[in-house]
Structure 1
Amino acid sequence: MTTTSAPASPPLTRQVSQHVSQSVFDGSRLRVVLLVDVYDGAQQQFLEAYEQLCNQVASVPGHVSDQLCQSIENPSQWLITSEWESAPPFLTWVNSEEHVEMVRPLHNCVSDTRSLRFHVVRETGGEAAGAQSGRRRLQSSPRIGDGVIRHALTFTVKPGKEKAVAKLLADYAPPNPRVDDTTRLVRTSLFMHGNRVVRAIEVRGDLLAALRHVARQPEVRAVEEAINPYLEQDRDLDDPESARVFFTRAALPAVHHVTTDQEPAGAVRHALYYPAREGAGMRLAELLAQRDEAAADDPRSPVLRSTIFQRDDVVVRLVDVQEGLDADAGTVLGLTDPARTAELTDLLDVAALGADASALRAGSADRLLALARMELVTDRRSPDA
């Protein structure tokens, strides 16, 4: 008796799409996880501070529920989880001055925190959960990333000191890109618009570890100390609370990123500043994200990569463009018709751009591009990025 073996199955390979899209705007529920290390002996103080915070958070729009857990192995380790209707209301709250003041009592009793945010993709749990999932929105499909975490910081300097600050920020020696065996700095891009500074960083690995690594470098610390007298918001880097509040307010999270299927080699990086009307920052960022998604599917678009950062009414868009930024202003801005221009203009704080609304609305995309364009201070890639 002879047997015929079945032909060997082809090896499984991981298919990776080059079309990368990361976004907070898919409308699905959000799970926030906060890992907290509490000082020994401060557990009761921490619990009381949490209960006060919990009562305040309950009235925040978009908040669904939260839960506090304590480690069974180490009583100093705590876990806070919260559920939100979607990411935008959470980000609006966590980036607000209200949040900065609300969490102040917690920082008196914790030595370290780590915040993680996740869209809910699937859930199980029987009949009740099934009924809930019918009403609650889940992420429809997993997104494809590129292994890079993007983050930015923004702050303002005293008017008239822009050139001095730009020189300090451009001339410093870059820190060692290697953070540890799993984390390294990929790229740092720094731009200015008037007296506003934006520093965007790209990291492979652990963002928090990278930020701490950079803060500890002597050359970086020297520059930070040198620009202190020029800052509009006072800070003392030797005072942990002062430094924490400053960098909390300076954080400019990435809310949307898209990379086209085209290889962005040779692309030139630019930044565009979109100051929003009060309360319109998130909507403005969402509108830009929709235009970027459409552009990513258009092979004629010169924009190969776009990242949108937003906090409160500050919106910044980082774009990698294959051709010159001025080659097709309307396409670069995502404004291909007058209606789009009017829609965007209605959300902008045009006075902050140095224009009046009627003049900008009646003007061309070239006019808006000229007003929104940020000045490049430095753009540095790691050698093996």
Structure 2
Amino acid sequence: MTTSALASEPLTQQVPHHVSQSVFDGSRLRVVLLVDVHDGAQQQFLEAYEQLCNQVASVPGHVSDQLCQSIENPSQWLITSEWESAPPFLTWVNSEEHVRMVEPLHRCVRDTRSLRFHIVRETGDPAEDARSGKRRLQASPRIGDGVIRHALTFTVKPGSEQTVARILADYAAPEPQVDDTTRLCRTSLFMHGNRVVRAIEVRGDLLAALRHVARQPEVRAVEEAINPHLEQDRDLDDPESARVFFTRAALPAVHHVTAGQETGQTVRHALYYPAREGGGMRLAELLARQDEAAAEDPHSPVLCSTIFQRDDIVMRLIDVRGGLDADPGAVLGLTDRGQAAEVTALLDGDALGADPSALMDAAPAGLLTLARMELVTDRRSPEA
């Protein structure tokens, strides 16, 4: 594309009104990391940051970063970074490379809090922004429903699936009210083979809700009970071991679409889309685009869809009106053969338990059977 063509393009783009969350709109990303450093560890922290900064500079999509120290409390630091868009940042932050990179930094800190923002407005010369090829801004802000969606995923040892399912289904729900501003709304837990996915919906502060749940005795007992069955070892009494486990288990929501109002016949389902190596983000984006298009169809059975993605793991959590099998193509997010071909080309057939070459022929009804996750429990707080 020529510079003149870039300069003639509008710097803003309209957000589809059905979409309340998406990492695929092309906006630049601002990441803010709030850090509380151990007393006396400031120099060690600074050295760890310099090492990390040099490594991050070569990560695709990274633009710049800043390190700031509080003028009131020397133990409080702020790291900000800018990225070309959200996908390259998420690809990096959810990678094993990132886990290794930040390990020296975490040895110096008591607590961290990460916040991610799309850049919606900024001062400067719009024409210069266009000539330099910067990403476009949003014409209007997204309108959400006040709910934060997040998921965790991990695998258990083959042969222990039924035992783990019983443990995860048979415990008392934690107290939903976290504090004056935060409340647990819903927890949905599914399994596909030996993979477990726990999706949660929160109003308020997600981090406060996750910490609240982790402190509940009934939840702690369940976590301890499944420990012997996990493929990845962890020690919940060791903060670093727990941090690494839950960092690897994080399955962020990358897209959310609400097409219609929930009814008494609405049922929640989960679909698993394991991607070929390196194809997870692209697969999630294709599904997101198809969800956006389907939201305009008043006859679509899918009333709500949230796409979660990390590395090559993609999962869609959907609220469906009527039976799941009535319209397999629409439920899968595949409404024509061309779309099905593009998506199935990115799927890892081995992870779905199918011959990769047969996936296209299996779509959509056969693929729905392969992708469908088994419900373990779906709990809503009374006032959700």
**TM class by smaller structure:** over 0.9
Which one-letter code corresponds to 1:348 in the other structure?
L
> Does the aligned pair in 1 maintain the 2:19–2:255 contact within 8 Å?
no
* CA drift at 1:136: 1.4
Residue 75 of structure 1 is matched in structure 2 by 74
Quick one: distance in 2 between partners of 1:331 and 1:114?
38
Q: Are 2:85 and 1:86 aligned?
A: yes
* CA drift at 1:130: 6.2
Look up the SS of the partner of 2:209 in the other structure: helix
> Does the aligned pair in 1 maintain the 2:17–2:142 contact within 8 Å?
no
Quick one: distance in 2 between partners of 1:169 and 1:334?
29
Quick one: distance in 1 between partners of 2:362 and 2:213?
42
* CA drift at 1:333: 1.1
Residue 131 of structure 1 is matched in structure 2 by 128
RMSD of aligned C-alpha atoms? 1.3
Residue 264 of structure 1 is matched in structure 2 by 262
- Number of aligned residue pairs: give it: 366
What per-residue deviation string (whole Å, max 9, x for no partner) do you get for residues 158-216 of structure 1? 00000000000000111000000000000000000000000000000000000000000
Quick one: distance in 2 between partners of 1:53 and 1:155?
27
Residue 277 of structure 1 is matched in structure 2 by 276
Quick one: distance in 2 between partners of 1:343 and 1:18?
26
> Does the aligned pair in 2 maintain the 1:20–1:146 contact within 8 Å?
no
Residue 45 of structure 2 is matched in structure 1 by 46
Look up the SS of the partner of 1:222 in the other structure: helix
Quick one: distance in 1 between partners of 2:127 and 2:79?
24
Look up the SS of the partner of 1:252 in the other structure: strand
Residue 252 of structure 1 is matched in structure 2 by 251
Which one-letter code corresponds to 1:136 in the other structure?
K
- Residues 317/46 of structure 1: CA separation in 2 closer, same or farther (3 Å cut): same
Residue 10 of structure 2 is matched in structure 1 by none
Quick one: distance in 1 between partners of 2:53 and 2:357?
45
- Structure 2 unaligned regions, length at least 5: 1-15
> Does the aligned pair in 2 maintain the 1:38–1:111 contact within 8 Å?
yes
* CA drift at 1:339: 1.6
Residue 339 of structure 2 is matched in structure 1 by 340
Give the greater-gyration-radius structure (CA).
Answer: 1
- Structure 1 unaligned regions, length at least 5: 1-16
Q: Are 2:307 and 1:300 aligned?
A: no
Quick one: distance in 1 between partners of 2:139 and 2:242?
39
* CA drift at 1:133: 5.9
> Does the aligned pair in 1 maintain the 2:178–2:208 contact within 8 Å?
yes
Quick one: distance in 1 between partners of 2:67 and 2:363?
53
- Alignment TM-score, normalising by the size of structure 2: 0.93
Q: Are 2:206 and 1:207 aligned?
A: yes
Quick one: distance in 1 between partners of 2:30 and 2:128?
18
Which one-letter code corresponds to 1:95 in the other structure?
N
Quick one: distance in 2 between partners of 1:83 and 1:139?
17
* CA drift at 1:19: 3.4
* CA drift at 1:20: 4.4
Look up the SS of the partner of 2:283 in the other structure: helix
Residue 349 of structure 2 is matched in structure 1 by 350
Residue 151 of structure 1 is matched in structure 2 by 150
What per-residue deviation string (whole Å, max 9, x for no partner) do you get for residues 5-51 of structure 1? xxxxxxxxxxxx98342100001100000000011111111100000
> Does the aligned pair in 2 maintain the 1:157–1:230 contact within 8 Å?
yes
- Residues 281/123 of structure 1: CA separation in 2 closer, same or farther (3 Å cut): same
Quick one: distance in 1 between partners of 2:149 and 2:333?
22
Look up the SS of the partner of 1:103 in the other structure: helix
Quick one: distance in 2 between partners of 1:189 and 1:365?
25
The share of aligned pairs that are identical, in percent, is: 82
What per-residue deviation string (whole Å, max 9, x for no partner) do you get for residues 119-163 of structure 1? 0011014x5x86236531223321111000000000000000000
> Does the aligned pair in 2 maintain the 1:270–1:376 contact within 8 Å?
yes
- Residues 211/130 of structure 1: CA separation in 2 closer, same or farther (3 Å cut): farther
What per-residue deviation string (whole Å, max 9, x for no partner) do you get for residues 40-99 of structure 1? 111111100000000000000000000000010111110000000000000000000000
> Does the aligned pair in 1 maintain the 2:148–2:204 contact within 8 Å?
yes
Look up the SS of the partner of 2:180 in the other structure: coil
- Alignment TM-score, normalising by the size of structure 1: 0.93
> Does the aligned pair in 1 maintain the 2:19–2:292 contact within 8 Å?
no
> Does the aligned pair in 2 maintain the 1:18–1:259 contact within 8 Å?
no
Which one-letter code corresponds to 2:237 in the other structure?
D
Look up the SS of the partner of 1:276 in the other structure: coil
Quick one: distance in 1 between partners of 2:176 and 2:22?
26
